[in-house]
Each structure stands twice: as structure tokens, then as C-alpha cells.
Structure 1
Amino acid sequence: MSWQEELRKLDEELASGRLSADDYRVRRDQVLSSAVSYSDSASQPQQPAPQQQPAPQQQDNSADSTQVIAPISPPQGTPQPPQQQPQPQNFSAEPTQAVSPNWQARPPVDPERTQYVANPPAPQSPPAGFPASPPAGFPQSGPQPVQQPWNAPESDASPPWGGSDFPPISPVAQGPEAFDDKPAKGKGKAVWISVAVVVVLVAAGLTIFLTTSGGDDNQAATTTTQPPPTSSAASNSPNQALLDKIPPTEGTADGQSGLLPVSRLVDLGIMDEGEATLLSSRSVQEVAWRGSQRQPDATGPGNEKISVTVIPLDSSATATALAGQLRQYYVRNGLVLISDQLPNIPPQVVFHKLVASPIVYRATWVSGENLIRVNVTQGDLADEAALSGAYQRTVRSMLLPYPVG
């Protein structure tokens, strides 16, 4: 029965339940193993039996005789090397013993005896199409680096064409010796000098930049509130506190801002002679004044001129009396009293308006022992809404440090 039929029979027994799965696997493996063994034995041709070497004649077992050991026959299918012809026997006092390949070492009979070892058989030739492997194996690709012993002197790596004209190439430092070199003493000093030079250059560049851009900053500052200038000459005056309480006004600050005598108010065009006379009649010597000039900005195209004056008096009653005199003087000189109430401005703030050239918006009120005067003018009626806005913002800002009452 062939192995195919045996497998088929096993499948039938497994399907019918007469054979367990474990027994089925065991018997199937046995059938397949026997089939493979049978196929291998049938595919290999019968090798002829190796020819037996004629037995050498019995030699004398004396110490002076030469022993010839027959080589061990190679495995089946391996070509046999040519037989080593036995050397003619030398019956001298020191005979030579021939040893065949695959000879196992054994102690010689006589220590003085010289033994002859036969050449090993030639290696098997590789199949066609494959290169023969050398006895020591194929060498690795690329040159192998030569391991230098530790602390060995470095070889000169200078190029052959350099000669003595070029300094020798220093070896590459490895390991801890890479950190052994100390920096030169002058190197740190040079680094600090370089840093100092860079700092000086940066400072000079910033100075030039700020100097050249000063014009643009001043132009932009015309639309913002300028801090009030201080007067060192009037720092000892008792009215300096009044000036310090005046908040900055919109636009570019007037350089004449400060504590001014009454006569100076007329010269600067802050008040006319009639107003100055009324102030002098109430024993007013100097006032705190701050002025500025607005430029067209996001709030409007106007060029309003803002003037804020704090007139100190000896009492609140004197301040109220002077306020009444000034308001009558305004009406006599063409200003109109506006009775309409403006938002966020108390009624104690009296509003007068002059529609002429220049247009004038003026407010007066009493705050303690002081009389407050706010005057906003516009050269022409470019934008009355901008003029009114500048007036209302200035009055509200002055009401914070100088409220009515």
C-alpha cells in the first residue's frame, strides 16, 4: 500500500470517529516520514563500494621500523584524494613515520623518532556559479583600523609635501585630555573688550535713533496731553500748590505756563485790561495759569487754544463778588450768557459764548477761596462741535481738583 493510500485511509478513520485526532497526527507523521525517507533513498544512486586498500605487509614492530597508517576513507560522495605512496623504508636508527589525514594524536613509541605527516586532502570544489571560499574566510570590506595601545606616541599626520615649512598637525585629543587644555590668559580679556565695544556701539545707535526720531515724536505729541512745565523761580510761592493741582490740558503745552503776575496776563493776551483791572481791585497779585494749543486729531479738525486760570482771593465771598463783576463785564463786551445746561456740568458753572473771530467759550465758577476761569477759543468757525467738545472736556477735568462751592 502506497503512502497516499495510507493517508487516505487515515482520513476516513478520522472522519468516521474510529481514530482520535492525536492518534491521527501521530500516524500521519509516521507515514509522511517514511514517504520522505523512501523518496530520498530512491533518488540517490547506489554508490559503489570503496575499493579496499591492500593491507600493508606486516612490518617489524621494532623501534627502528617505519609504520604506515592508511587514511580514513572520506564520506560517501566525496572524491578521494590520491593515495600517498609509501616512502621507502629506511631501516636507519631514526626512521620516519607517515601519518594519514584525520589522524588522532597518540604518544610516539620512541621520543627520538621523527614522524612524517601526510598532506590533508584537497577541499571540495564548490558548485558552479559560486566563488570558492578561502581557507580563512572572506575578508571584511574596507581596511581594518589598527588598535593603538594606550598612551602610545602619536604618529606624524603631516602631509608628505608639507616638509618643515608647516607646523606639525597636532593629534586629536580624546577622553579626559580634551578638557585638560587651559584657555589662554589673554583670551578672556579680549572677550571682555569685544563685549564692551558692542555695548558702546548699541548705545550710540540708540542715541542716534532717538535723536533723529525726536521730531516725529514731537509732532505726534501735539495731539496728546502734554505735562505742565514747572517754574523753579515760583517754587517758593504760596500759590505753587494751586498750579500743581491744575491737570494737564489738551494739545501742546504753552511754555509760559506757571505763576504769572496780573500785568503779565495782559502782555500774553490771556486777559484784557478790563479784566486785569478788576483783579487788581481785589488785591490779586499773581495767578496760576496753564495753556496749550490743540491740533487737528481724531476728535476734530479744530485748532483750539485752551487757557485755564486759578485766581486766588482772601475769602470765598471775595471770590463770589469778583465772579459777579467779571460776568457783567463779559456781557457788556459782547459775550452771551448760555443758560442751557451742559451734560455732567453743574449749574454753578456759568457759561458765556462769543460768536465772532475768534470764537470764545468761557466758564467761571467759585471753588473755595479761588475763582476758576476756563477759556477755549477757535480761530474761525472750522468745527464748533470740536470747540464745544474741547470746552466741555476741559471744564470737567478742572472740576475734579476744583469743584464748585
Structure 2
Amino acid sequence: MSRTSGTSGLPPFDPTDPLGVEELLDPEDLAVRDTMRAWAADRVLPHVAEWYERGELPGVRELARELGALGALGMSLSGYGCAGASAVQYGLACLELEAADSGVRSLVSVQGSLAMYAIHRFGSEEQKREWLPRMASGEVIGCFGLTEPDHGSDPAGMRTYARRDGEDWLLTGRKMWITNGSVAGIAVVWARTEDGVRGFVVPTSSAGFSAPEIKHKWSLRASVTSELVLDEVRLPGDAVLPEAVGLRGPLSCLSHARYGIVWGSMGAARASFEAALDYARTREQFGKPIGGFQLTQAKLADMAVELHKGILLAHHLGRRMDQRRLRPEQVSFGKLNNVREAIAICREARTILGANGISLDYPVMRHATNLESVLTYEGTTEMHQLVLGKALTGIEAFRGD
């Protein structure tokens, strides 16, 4: 009896997809992925190092309209001009956009998963019809005002408030670290009221509203980040989101946005890993490519394991979301793991590139610094650890008393 090779008849090993995760994708999934990858390669990658160095995202409104034409804005929402894509397809789009730059993915996430999602889930029919089609097309950019200068991880302590003045609302307060703020045409702002926390749809042309851009960032430099200042902004009575009362509203929006980060962070990790792998194959030291040394291969192997475990986790969570079975604690699991591992991958990739790793000629340091923001926003590492800790033990530890 002859003995044949144990790999006889098996597909070849693919260094770009060592677990064969692509086999989980159907033709529509692949079409979304390839479309977003091609757009990012054409419209972002040739320019993003310069944008990052200059600390700006020029032509953001044009980019938004192009992304709208691709169906990328609010793509997992249905109706009102939205694409109605699956959660997995939305995740694939986030991965490809963040493989180009976290700032571009943030533009899409804030537009769709925060501002549009809030209106789609909690808004009136009139609010949905007025805003969602224009936001889906990229004609109107949205932002999401929850974080405040003194209240990030503890939104229950927010100071922004809205009070009744006849039939109108008067909205006063400040929001901080708001992506898209100074280019937005509409802001979804959360504020205290006599009835609890409520969400408001605020046209940014309203008297008393301003959005000064935040400068001097060392992360997410190719992204618009602003403060929102609301000085007795007068809004009509129907500006409030009718279906959201209490923190349940904004927190559910954050959970939707965190899901996109689970995927997006793996895009940044993939781009950094691929840069390191290519460099290891071509950079020669001591008479041979550095990829031929055991220590370098150990680094690449560990990076590949964490990268593709993270992608597989993202797929699993996406399938659960499509089945309406995804719990917030599971989203916290994904964000905690994938962002933390993505940063570790970027840092290891930097060591393989040596001094070249700090150069904008390569994407690694740009991704590493961007991920420092991704690690913090939509819930810090510590907050997600506490979410999981409570789920595991049944004991809340958010407060020390």
C-alpha cells in the first residue's frame, strides 16, 4: 500500500489567507470587499501619507459623495436610500477602508453607525425621510455628539442640557472629540432633559451652534475632529428623537459603531503585517533576506496568527449580527481583542522595518498612531474589560464604591 502526501489534493497554502476565511464569503460579499479595496487604492492610498503629514483630510465632502455613490454610508441600514447590506458586508467595507487609513473608516462609521443609525432606529418618520436619503448619498455629512470635555467613559455625567421654551427646545453645552464635526450638516446631540437623556437632530446652521476644529493631533491626522459648542441653540419641538429616552439610545449606537471597529482594526493590522512581510522578503542583512532569520519568522508567524484570528472573530460576530443574535458583551469582546492585537501587530511590524518603520514611506507608524485613538474611542480598553468582567462574574465594578 503506497503512502501519499498528507497534503495531496488540498488547496495550496495562501499567505494572505492562511485559514481560508475567504471561503466563508459569498459572491456579493466578495464584490463589496473588492469594490471598497479598489476605491481605497485609487482615492486614498496615493495621497494619505501627505494628508497625514499635513494633518488634514482635503476634499472630505467629495469623498463622502463618492462613498455614498458606492453605497458605503449607512450601508447596513434598510430603506431611505440605504444599501441594506449585510453586517458582514459592512464589516468587510470597514476593514478595507481602515487598511487605507483609520480616519477614512471613521468618516464612514460616524456617518452610518452613529448619526444615521440613531435617526434610523430612534427617529420619527419625518426625520428619517428628511435626513437619511441625503446622508446615504453623502450630500449631507453627519456627526454624533456624546463625549464631553469632562465626561468620556461616563456619559451619565454629561452636562449638556436641553430645556423647554414654549414649544421649542433650547440646547446648551459642549461636546469634544467629534469626528466630522466641522464639516457636518447635521449633528445628533445627546443632552440631559427633565425626562432623562434625549437625542436631538441639530442642523449645524442653527444659530448658537459652532464646531471649531481640533488641531495638533498626533493620531487620526487625516480626519476631521472637532469640538461642538451649543449656546442656547433653539430647536423646534420635533427635533427630539422620539424613540430614545435615557442612555439606552446612545449606548446602542456605540455598540453598532464598535462592531465596525472590530473589522476596521484588522484592516490597519493587515496593512502593517503585509508591509512587514514584503520588507522581510526583500531587505537583506548578513547576506540574505531578513525573512530568512528565525527571529523574524517567529515575529511574522505570531503576527499572522493574531491577525487572522481577529478576522475570523470579526466574521463570527458579523454572522451573529446578521442573525440578530449579537449581544453588546460580544461586541466588547471583539473590540477589546482586535484593537489591542492590531496595535501589537503594528508595533511588531515596526521592528521588522527597523528605522524605515517610522517613515511615512511605509504605512506602519501611521496605522500604529491611528490605532491609539481607536483604542480609546467607542469605549476604552478598561471599559470593555469591565463590561466583560460584569458579564463573567455577575458583579458590576464600574464604580469603586
* Smaller-chain TM-score bracket: under 0.3
User: Rg bigger for which structure?
Assistant: 1
Q: Which has the higher contact order (CA 8 A, sep 6+)?
A: 2
State TM-score, norm by structure 2. Answer: 0.20
Q: Select the structure that is richer in helix.
A: 2
State TM-score, norm by structure 1. Answer: 0.20
